[in-house]
Amino acid sequence: MNVGVVGNPRYSDLRGLLTRLAQAAQRHRFTLFSEPELAELWPQPVARLADGEPLDLLITFGGDGTLLRGARLLAERDAPILGVNLGRMGFLTTATPETLDEALAAAASGSYEVDTRCALEGRIRAPDGIERPGPLALNDVVLHKGGVARVIGLRVLLKGEEIGRYSADGIIVATPTGSTAYSLSAGGPVVLPGVEALVITPICPHTLAVR
């Protein structure tokens, strides 16, 4: 079983957790692949996690940001992510240092459920009609005014039909997963991960109708 490992080195207990993972890998016959930034934290050398490496599981050690970074590394690879929360919030992670051994045993035996999350792909259409594809986003896609010292006019369409106009600093289109991130800070609602919906949240809209 090929297992990729991504982590945030700023957490002091990460070294000990990687030692536990290395020991568990021997018991469960995991082949470990680690991002190079963690090389000095392993008790023995571990193969480098490279682009396109076939994985059966990706483990992330950190907070939600680390899990999102791991999701970007996976790109089009179809592998589940086991997030071990070392951070403050941990909306997306499912395990803790205390439950790590149990989670690894479940992964080895296949005794787990996969929670499928939707993703977004942002595209920019130039005036000549040519579209430039953007990266996949698990949380949100944001259109922002940047350094312009005034609000911008935004027109939102769904399948060609206008559903809203805003004067604002920008707009956030979030997945249910991303509804607890930037969109929440901008006043958007929290949506359960299993709901088939997107959240559209204007950023600092200059209107009394959005409250």
User: Tell me, what amino acid is at 130?
Assistant: I
Among residues 64, 78, 101, 115, which one is catalytic?
Answer: 64
SS3 98: helix
Torsion angle of alpha carbons 163, 169, 175, 179, nearest 10°? -120
DSSP label at 188? P
Cα 155 from Cα 34, distance rounded (Å): 44
Q: What span, in angstroms and rounded, lies between the C-alpha atoms of 6 and 37?
A: 9
Enclosing H/E stretch for 100: helix 100-109
Catalytic status, residue 64: yes
Which has the closest alpha carbon to 174: 53, 91, 96, 74?
A: 91
Strand partners, 155: 165
So which residues are the catalytic ones?
64
